[in-house]
Amino acid sequence: MTVDAMDDMPNMDSLIAALPSPTLIIGRTERVERLNSAAETLLGKNVAGRHFTTALRHPKLVDAVERSLLDGAARQISVQLVVHGSDAVYDVHLAMVQRSGLLLLSFQNVADIAQAEQMRRDFIANVSHELRTPLTAVIGFIETLRGPARDDAAARDRFLDIMAGEADRMNRLVGGLLSLSRVEADERVRPSARVDVRQILYTTLDNLAPLARDSGVTLCCDAGQAPLEVIGDADQLVQVFTNLVENAIKYGGADRSVEISLGEAAHDPVLRGPATEITVTDHGPGIEPIHLPRLTERFYRGDAHRGRAQGGTGLGLAIVKHILNRHRGRLKVASVPGQGAQFTVVLPPAPA
């Protein structure tokens, strides 16, 4: 390096001031020699010039600094600090600056990373739990069929039916999970096709006619004839309405009707503009208010026991939510317990 280039080198203060994450330097005197403003915000304004034991306070951090000053080795530790009254987790990197005797500490807030990790762990725990229940049943019946029920033809048929049902359930779970992961994967890619919501509704209702008939449910659709366009992914929108109408049939109760209506709102407060609204109304037991905010969480079943008996996975509304997010739309749910439920899909209309 030439002398000129050296002259151009900024000094230590301006270098660490340019770093976005909290950074400080401990000198040979074991005092905090420099810190940037992010570090001041984190540790307080008056730590400059203090001995590192009083400046840092956190025992784990002080210990790591002591050891790095002794052995000159770089380290990384994770500490929990209280920032403005709330807990935050930081990864702190310690590194000796070559031949200077200075120790550089940089802090990285890992709260978001930790939260994502936690969500991943919860998700795996949930999936395992959901799969284990039907699997345990199947394993139990296999044992029974090999042992006590070996020569009992009637029991065998019954158990095989139950096993087929449990296998179906696992199949639906895996199908739902794959569908959810596909939807999440392209959530940030806006759809680009102009599609007719009425056409999509009619396709959905055709698909569900057999289920409705078997459940003794009458589907009434008041969608008119004129096309009503949104920018969307037709397959995904069919998936949305299929989930909602299927729920209305499943949970709305046999021998009742389910109404599907289509309308336009001049101004939706959340979309901040005009909206196309599709409402699915049933006349079943409805949903208790405490469940409403959590319905779109994965695996959430309002009435877990009943939901499972009816083959629910709790993934349907989670998929609906992700698809609507992708479409810049939203889902509204209203219910008076005992009088049924109303699920409304709100979508921005296609520009004229």
Ligand X SMILES: Nc1ncnc2c1ncn2[C@@H]1O[C@H](COP(=O)(O)OP(=O)(O)O)[C@@H](O)[C@H]1O
Cα first-last separation, the chain: 63
Task: Name the residue with the smallest CB distance to ligand X.
Answer: 312
22, 191, 232, 314: which one contacts ligand X (CB under 6 A)? Answer: 314
Name which of 241 and 300 has its Cβ closer to ligand X.
300
By CB under 6 A, is residue 281 in contact with ligand X?
A: no
Among 24-32, 34-42, 259-267, 297-305, the segment contacting ligand X (CB under 6 A): 297-305
By CB under 6 A, is residue 329 in contact with ligand X?
A: no
Selection from Mg ion, ligand X, none that 341 binds (CB < 5 to 8 A by kind) is: ligand X
The nearest distance, CB 261 to ligand X, in angstroms, is 15
Q: What span, in angstroms and rounded, lies between the C-alpha atoms of 338 and 37?
A: 58
By CB under 6 A, is residue 27 in contact with ligand X?
A: no
By CB under 5 A, is residue 247 in contact with Mg ion?
A: yes
Alpha helices by DSSP H, the chain: 3-8, 12-17, 37-43, 52-56, 59-71, 111-146, 153-185, 197-215, 234-252, 304-309, 316-326
- Pick the closest to residue 323 from 227, 182, 126 (CA basis): 182
Name which of 22 and 316 has its Cβ closer to Mg ion.
316
By CB under 6 A, is residue 43 in contact with ligand X?
A: no
- Pick the closest to residue 142 from 162, 127, 128 (CA basis): 162
By CB under 6 A, is residue 279 in contact with ligand X?
A: no
Backbone phi and psi for residue 72, each to the nearest 5 degrees, phi listed first: 70, 10
- Pick the closest to residue 345 from 334, 102, 336 (CA basis): 334
By CB under 6 A, is residue 247 in contact with ligand X?
A: yes
What is the total count of residues that contact ligand X (CB under 6 A)? 21
Rounded (10°) CA dihedral 349, 181, 179, 331: -40
The nearest distance, CB 314 to Mg ion, in angstroms, is 8
The C-alpha angle with vertex 327 and arms to 325 and 328, in degrees rounded to 5, equals 65
By CB under 6 A, is residue 341 in contact with ligand X?
A: yes
302, 322, 345, 346: which one contacts ligand X (CB under 6 A)? Answer: 302
